[in-house]
Homo-oligomer: A and B are copies of this chain.
Amino acid sequence: MPSSEAPSAALAVWLASSRDRRMSQLAEFVAFPSVSMDSQHVQDCHAAAGWLAQRMCSLGIDNVEVSPTGGLPIVYGDWLHAPGAPTVLVYGHYDVQPVEPHAEWDTDPFTVVVQGDRISGRGTADDKGQILIHLDAVEALLATTGTLPVNLRFVFEGEEESDAEHFDDWVVAHRDQLRSDVAFVSDTGLFEGNIPAITVGLRGLLGFQIDVYGSPVQLHSGSHGGVARNPALALATILNSFLDDNGKIAIAGFYDEVAELSPSAREQLEALPFDDASYLAALGVDQSVGETGRSLLERRGARPTLDVHGIWGGFRGEGLMTVIPASAHAKVSCRLVPNQEPGRIAELVRKHVSAHLPSGVRVEVSSLGQGAPLEVPTDSWVVSEAAAAVGSAFGREPVYVWEGGSIPACEALGRLLEVPVVIMGFTPPNCNTHAPNEWMSLSCYEFGLETVVRFLTQVGVAAQ
């Protein structure tokens, strides 16, 4: 059996000699525009799943299957040749965010460009690159030790960036097949200053679209202005009603179930090495906003929020077309924290919108998906092993962070499979996930690969 020190020397050689080949594989994977929320890219998502399955087969992973879900497939595979050792379920997602606004990309989003340490392309960070870190770790271990220290199951989803609509049902249907001791998810990143981080809190998500309709046709604002309600102004009234003057969400009952951080969690959070000013400078904004009386770190990770992701309606060409738009639209979401229940919050949102709708127009509120928030106990054995792996790869313990984003699968895996979840990812901070010019760094990729190798080794050793 490999010891916790064994892979280091051979691994370094393997990492260096395989780097170009591994980057080529990443480029192949990124080249599929697997944008799950865009129905025009259904074929591309299937193609990406097929490529991934083929890659897994070529590594010697067994039972590889592109498993149907009713939506986009889940790619499954396992390696179960370590009798007595624990089984680690690795989760990732092969779908990616849209690339809008396309014009703001400096390079083609689906062509990997490596410049120095920077690997640019949609999915290099979120999450194709991190899937390949895990597969490369398997290859590295097999190449340098001839075997794997643990049993592995791989579950790679294709709807994480849309509504994850079929994931829970698929997990339930495959519960026996998925039996594991721990779920390991790399869909997050390093903390500011490239400090390794284990995520102990994930916000939930509730997405919805608001459509306001006035007259069925665009009206001339000269002939009918002052008489017909303007749907764009009505939408503005609704959107403006969501936040109060103290940066809190003004939806009645919204905070009723919000759990405050425990004193120890708050202490941990506030002890993180974080400089507000340099964070804001990196974002390019001159001041932070949000709930008064809460630290920036708490606001962005451990408090619920509401954001508008897009607005549209009426005329947006050159010049001035003086119409009253027939309709106006917004995509909105709330990030939720324990113990907010997305279905209940959705009801509160609907009530709020109805109550704030100006007269003379009608409104529709439709769902754009939801996911529950998650809190990971820091005292689980896998979190300790993960921390130790990071410690040996990096020379310092990781920090524990509250990630403001949402990965519904983390909560679902923990709940449905009754396993501890370790959420540890390797993207650099400010890597433009969901934005133009998404990037991964080569050094973070290699650090991640080494950490995964050490974590799996550690977990195997710990169980002996």
Interface residues of A (CB under 8 A from B): 36-39, 97-98, 100-101, 104, 162-163, 203, 205, 207, 214-230, 232-233, 235-237, 239-240, 242-243, 247, 283-291, 296, 299-300, 303-326, 328-331, 333, 335, 358-361, 368-369, 403-406, 432-437
Contacts and interface: CB of A to CB of B under 8 A. Distances in A.
Contacts of A307: 221, 225, 230, 233, 322, 324
B232 A242 contact: no
Contact of A240 (B100, B219, B237): B237
A368 B308 CA distance: 27
A312 B309 contact: no
The 4 tightest CB contacts between A and B, nearest first, are: A222-B405, A37-B319, A310-B314, A236-B239
Most buried by B among A219, A226, A328: A226
Contacts of A296: 227
26 contacts: A36-B319, A37-B321, A98-B315, A100-B321, A101-B218, A207-B320, A220-B435, A221-B307, A223-B404, A226-B299, A227-B300, A228-B283, A228-B285, A228-B288, A232-B310, A235-B311, A236-B311, A285-B360, A289-B359, A308-B314, A309-B315, A309-B324, A310-B323, A319-B369, A320-B368, A321-B331
Copies of this chain in the oligomer? 2
Contacts of A289: 227-229, 358-360
A183 B349 CA distance: 57
Contacts of A305: 221, 225-226
Which of A233, A242, A305, A403 is the most central at the interface, judged by chain B CB atoms within 10 Å of its CB?
A: A233
A314 B312 CA distance: 9
Most chain-B CB neighbours within 10 Å: which of A285, A324, A433? A285
